[in-house]
C-alpha cells in the first residue's frame, strides 16, 4: 500500500521540494518530555537512556537482561524509532533490591545518562510531549517557498495523520489486520494483537481525517463535532457557540476524529454521517475492533507544532526543531514540506 492510501492529501499544497531524512541517526533526534518530579527514593529505578539504531522494545530487553529481571519489570512511556538518536525514560521494578550493575546493557548503541529512584513505575503514555531535531539533507527546494510553508504550518498546524511507520513496511500491519478481521479472529500473541488493532484503528482515523482535509474542515469545528484540548483525552460536543470558541484559533482546542471501538461514533449531524460513511467501507475491521472490546476514543484532527524554529547549517541542509504532543508523528510535519527521497537518490534533478 502506498503513502496516499495510508495517509491522505496534504493540507497546505504540494511539496515544496525534495530531501533526505535519516541519512544518519543524528538526522532524527527525539527527546521525551516527561513532567514528573522524581522523589529520589522508592522501589523503582528510573533510567534516562540514549539509544541509536535500537527501538524501544530492543532497549528494554537489553536492560532487563543486564539487570537479571524479567522483561515485564521494565517499563517505558512510549515507543521511539529505531532509525534515530533518541533519549527516553525507562523504569525498573526493584522491590527490596539494590541498583543493579547495568554495564552489560551499555554499548555504542545504548548509553544510560541518568539514574534516579522513584516510588512509582513509569506508565505508558506518561510523557506529555516529544522534542525533535530533524535534519533534511540533500535539500532541493526553493528557499522562499519553503520559508513561506514553514511559517504557514507554524501558524496553522498540520493534519494529525498517523505516520507510515504505524502500518509497517508497505502497510503490512494493516494487511495482516484485515486478514485476521476477515477470519474473525484475534492474534493470540499480545504484542502482535496490540500492533494489529492499533494499525486498524489508525487507518480508519486517517481515512476520516483525509475526508476532512479534502473538504477543508480538518482545522475547523463543525456543529456535531467532538472537541478536545491538545493534551486532553476528554472531549465535548460542539454546538453553534462552541464553534466560535477563541481557543480554536490559537490551536489549543481542536475537532477530533474516531478511534473506533464498540458502538457508533458519538458525534452528530453531518460529522456523524461522514464518520459512519467511512466506517461502512470497512465493516470487517469495525466488527473486529468491536469484538476485541476496544472502547471508542477520540484523537485531535489538527496537530499544533510548538516552538518551531529552523536554520540552514549548509545550503542543502534544513534543520528543524519543534515539540509535538505525545502520540503524534514528526514525519507528518515533514510531509507538508517536502517529498522524501531514499538515501542514495539525491542527484536527480527536480523541478518545482
Contacts by 238-246 with C-beta closer than 8 Å and gap 24+?
A: 245/221
Q: Is 233 exposed, middle or buried (0-12, 13-18, 19+ CB in 10 A)?
A: exposed
Q: What is the chain's length?
A: 352
SS3 for 117-132, per residue? EECCCCCCCCCCEEEE
Catalytic residue among 27, 31, 35, 81: 81
Tell which residue, 226, 266, 221, has the closest CA to residue 246. 221
Cell 481557543 belongs to: 247
Q: How far apart are CA 18 and CA 323, in angstroms?
A: 23
Question: How many angstroms separate the CA atoms of 201 and 197, rounded?
Answer: 6
In angstroms, the Cα distances linking 271 to 42, 204, 209, 217 are: 48, 15, 11, 10
Active-site annotation holds for 252: no
Sequence-ordered alpha helix ranges (H) in the chain: 3-6, 56-67, 143-156, 172-182, 190-215, 269-280, 283-291, 330-335
Query: Which positions are catalytic?
Result: 81
Amino acid at each position: 500500500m502506498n503513502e496516499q492510501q495510508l495517509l491522505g492529501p496534504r493540507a497546505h499544497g504540494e511539496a515544496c521540494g525534495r530531501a533526505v531524512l535519516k541519512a544518519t541517526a543524528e538526522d532524527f533526534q527525539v527527546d521525551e518530555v516527561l513532567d514528573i518530579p522524581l522523589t529520589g527514593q522508592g522501589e523503582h529505578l528510573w533510567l534516562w537512556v540514549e539509544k541509536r539504531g535500537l527501538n524501544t522494545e530492543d532497549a528494554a530487553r537489553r536492560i532487563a537482561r543486564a539487570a537479571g529481571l524479567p522483561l515485564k519489570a521494565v517499563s517505558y512511556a512510549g515507543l521511539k524509532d529505531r532509525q534515530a538518536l533518541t533519549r527516553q525514560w525507562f523504569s525498573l521494578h526493584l522491590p527490596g533490591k539494590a541498583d543493579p550493575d547495568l554495564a552489560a546493557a551499555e554499548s555504542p548503541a545504548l548509553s544510560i545518562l541518568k539514574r534516579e529512584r522513584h516510588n512509582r513505575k513509569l506508565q505508558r503514555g506518561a510523557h506529555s510531549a516529544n522534542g525533535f531535531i530533524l535534519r533534511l539533507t540533500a535539500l532541493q527546494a526553493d528557499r522562499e517557498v519553503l520559508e513561506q510553508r514553514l511559517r504557514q504550518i507554524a501558524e496553522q498546524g498540520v493534519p494529525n495523520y498517523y505516520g507510515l511507520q504505524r502500518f509497517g513496511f508497505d502497510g503490512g500491519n494493516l494487511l495482516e489486520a484485515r486478514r485476521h478481521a476477515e477470519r474473525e479472529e484475534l492474534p493470540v500473541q499480545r504484542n502482535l494483537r496490540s500492533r494489529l488493532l492499533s494499525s486498524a484503528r489508525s487507518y480508519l482515523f486517517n481515512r476520516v481525517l483525509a475526508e476532512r482535509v479534502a473538504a477543508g474542515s480538518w482545522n475547523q469545528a463543525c456543529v456535531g463535532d467532538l472537541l478536545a484540548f491538545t493534551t486532553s483525552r476528554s472531549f465535548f460536543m460542539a454546538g453553534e457557540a462552541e464553534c466560535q470558541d477563541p481557543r480554536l484559533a490559537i490551536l489549543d482546542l481542536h475537532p477530533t476524529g474516531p478511534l473506533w471501538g464498540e458502538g457508533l461514533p458519538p458525534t452528530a449531524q453531518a460529522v456523524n454521517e461522514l464518520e459512519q460513511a467511512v466506517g461502512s467501507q470497512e465493516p470487517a475491521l469495525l466488527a473486529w475492533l468491536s469484538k476485541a472490546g476496544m472502547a471508542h476514543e477520540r484523537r485531535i484532527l489538527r496537530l499544533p507544532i510548538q516552538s518551531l524554529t529552523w536554520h540552514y547549517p549548509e545550503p542543502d541542509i534544513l534543520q528543524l526543531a519543534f515539540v509535538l504532543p505525545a502520540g503524534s508523528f514528526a514525519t507528518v510535519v515533514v510531509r507538508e514540506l517536502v517529498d522524501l527521497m531514499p538515501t542514495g537518490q539525491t542527484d536527480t534533478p527536480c523541478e518545482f
